[in-house]
Amino acid sequence: MTFATWAALAVGLLVAVPIAAHLLRRRRAGIVELPTARLLATSPPNARRRSALEDRSLFSIRALAILGLALLGASPFVSCSHLTLARKGGGSVALVFVIDDSLSMRAPIKDGPPRFDRAKQAALELAGAARDGDSIAIVLAGSEPRVALASTTDTDTAKAALAALEAGDRGTDLPGALAIARDLVKNAPQRDRRVVLLSDLADGHSDAPPLSLDGAMLWYPAPELTAASDGDCAIVLAQRTGQRVTVRIVCSPGATAQGRTLDIETEKGSAAKTVVGEDSEAVVIDVPEGADGDLDARLSEGDAISSDDYAPVTEESHDLSIAVVSDTSLTHVETGGPPPVEQALAALDLGRWVHALPSVPDHEEELSKHAGLILDDPPGLTPEERRAVASWVEGGGTLLLALGKRAAEAPLGAGFGSLVPGVVRFRTEPPSGADVTKCGFFGQSAESLAELAPKGRVTLDHDAMDGAELLCSFSDGEPLLVRRVIGRGAVLIVTLPFDLETSDLVLRPAFLSLLDRFAEGARMRGGPRVVEVGQPLVVPGATKLDAKFLSALDKDPEDVTIERHPDALRVPTQRIGRYVLSIDGASDVRAALAPPTEIDLRPRGIAPTALDTSLGGKADQLDAAPYVALGLLGLLVAELALRLWLGRKDEKPAVTRG
């Protein structure tokens, strides 16, 4: 409130004047004894009782009058406002609220509530203006966009759904949310159809073209949501390698984390801390020995959003780590360098994730840190290696197995077991290319396999094809690429080795497509351990999945609803923290971190037509002065009536005893 408002309200302090007058009037009078008073008859002290009644009644009325005068003086400065809805021709309206529930909406409006609270309030005000025949739907713009309420004409249901909404830590997808809203409103029976956008427009793309909506009316009724706010800094990654924790901090333009304290916490308290310096891109902290269990990284207070000042510390990520076992003596390239498969992975910008192994690990623990494994024409697998690889695949790993002459000549006791059932045979009769029409797995690059002419190939037994998916075949119908699903993982079997002596497969575009699809499948099947909030945690092949959310801000775990999709089970992420999964009885801990794009609080533009005041949105000012003045008039009438009544009592003759 302004100084003038406070000055007007200060008039209310004058209520002390009638209090003082009341107390002074109530002072007990002195007593003077008259000798002749004994000769007079006794009468009741009516005057004293009347004086006491009059003091209390008039005091109350006059005190209220003074307070009313203070309110009357302040009422021109105090007003209430709410959004209004203008109707075209007075007809019914179809409204679809697109409400941004992303991380940036947690930032407060300057000297006001959080942006999300203001957006909810605006939606409730507009829903309160709805009449019979109007319809309301709700779409949430946090990534991934979703429908929170389908179109309904039940205003009470819509208000309840709006009141139940909560802000999250997701990213923002305004174009996607507007597209969903357009589809919802386009079939509405009302002629007046509007998509109401309630967002701060901060989606990390402030330089993108202004938002607009083809085929529907876009209305932006609360531009105060884009008001400037204090800057924000967030922890977008906290990763541990041994006793060292690397924390990445991102700040909005103009903001800095310099001088703030970065603390690495355990359940028992602080394990290590440091003051953030000028370079906050990567802050490295050494934690002491014995700092085991869950670690959390936390920035001290000092910016617009507090929820992104925290992040769970995760182990060094191996989401895209791919192990390769290839005999360099048999797969050498004339120009030198690593085997062709490693060079192809480097060409796909996956080289930093590739780990060349001298042999196949015979312990599952050695494979658990990899999402994918490539075996290039191995001479069979020992029983220990078979058990380790099969168990790893069943747990969600993806194996790419290239079979050639060495695989067919596996020594006694070595084989592939459940990975490739039956006998593997190598035949030297070359087929005449691949059947492009049956190689859709490779997409457009399948054309490059039409002239494939290897010097030999592997044939598989019927057992290996039982339940398998044929992804590509030679022109004679024999398999070139087969996929077998085992547990939560998969095995891709190629009936050609990755060497230049047997074929030129590794030189064709289809080979890059194969590795690209393999890497993507490995990442999805293994399930990324760290995602941005809003991205789901994907668990393919699981038959039973339970999930709980755990945040350092709230130690009580919360149940998370599992989403069932045809290809996998998914765990939606709504907030920053840990997600404890139970996958077929086995426990697994994953994490969701703040999306870096949400730290940029600068709004993107919006089409001028969305700000059209003819649609409504003007604030109605409610002046309280007439109501206060009416109350003062009532108090005046009450005082006059009280005085008239007391005056009549004074005129009645006193009754005395003779």
In a domain, 258, yes or no: no
pLDDT digits (tens, 9 = 90+) for 428-455: 887 778 999 999 999 889 999 999 989 9
Are 520 and 536 members of one domain? no
Are 480 and 344 members of one domain? yes
What pLDDT score was predicted for residue 586? 80
In a domain, 254, yes or no: no
Lowest mean pLDDT, pick from 188-192, 370-374, 593-597, 645-649:
645-649
Tokens of 366: 């050695």
CATH code, domain carrying 221 = 3.40.50.410
Q: Is the pLDDT of residue 556 over 90?
A: no
What pLDDT score was predicted for residue 651? 59
Mean local confidence (pLDDT), 292-317 = 89
pLDDT digits (tens, 9 = 90+) for 28-47: 555 666 666 666 666 655 54
Are 470 and 540 members of one domain? no
Are 499 and 645 members of one domain? no
Q: Domain end: 508, 526, 544, which one?
A: 526
Q: Domain end: 489, 510, 526, which one?
A: 526
What pLDDT score was predicted for residue 187? 87
Are 109 and 75 members of one domain? no
Q: Is the pLDDT of residue 462 over 70?
A: yes
Q: Domain end: 481, 508, 526, which one?
A: 526
In a domain, 260, yes or no: no
Are 350 and 486 members of one domain? yes
Q: How far is CA 541 from CA 391, 393, 396, in A?
A: 14, 11, 8
Are 358 and 504 members of one domain? yes
Q: Is the pLDDT of residue 628 over 90?
A: no
Mean local confidence (pLDDT), 199-214 = 92
State CA 21 to chain mean position distance: 63
In a domain, 218, yes or no: yes
Q: CB under 8 Å to 352, separation ≥6 — which residues?
A: none
The C-alpha atoms of residue 73 and residue 613 are separated, in whole angstroms, by: 32
Helix (H) or strand (E) holding 135: strand 135-140
Are 513 and 536 members of one domain? no
Provide the percentage of residues in the chain whose pLDDT is more than 70: 80
Are 52 and 181 members of one domain? no
User: Total domain count for the chain?
Assistant: 4
Q: CB under 8 Å to 647, separation ≥6 — which residues?
A: none
Provide the percentage of residues in the chain whose pLDDT is more than 90: 52
- What amino acid occupies position 554? D
Phi-psi region of 277 (alpha: psi -120 to 50; beta: other; left: phi over 0): beta
Are 151 and 202 members of one domain? yes
Q: Is the pLDDT of residue 141 over 90?
A: yes
- The answer to whether 431 and 469 are in contact (CB under 8 A) is no
Higher per-residue confidence, 73 vs 459: 459
- The answer to whether 233 and 261 are in contact (CB under 8 A) is no
In a domain, 273, yes or no: no
What pLDDT score was predicted for residue 75? 57
In a domain, 489, yes or no: yes
pTM value surpassing 0.85: no
Are 552 and 634 members of one domain? no
What pLDDT score was predicted for residue 77? 46
Q: Is the pLDDT of residue 27 over 80?
A: no
In a domain, 344, yes or no: yes
Are 66 and 98 members of one domain? no
What pLDDT score was predicted for residue 658? 45
pLDDT digits (tens, 9 = 90+) for 59-97: 676 677 766 666 666 555 445 567 888 887 778 999 999
In a domain, 311, yes or no: no
Q: List the domain range (segments joined by +) for residue 402.
A: 322-526
Mean local confidence (pLDDT), 568-590 = 89
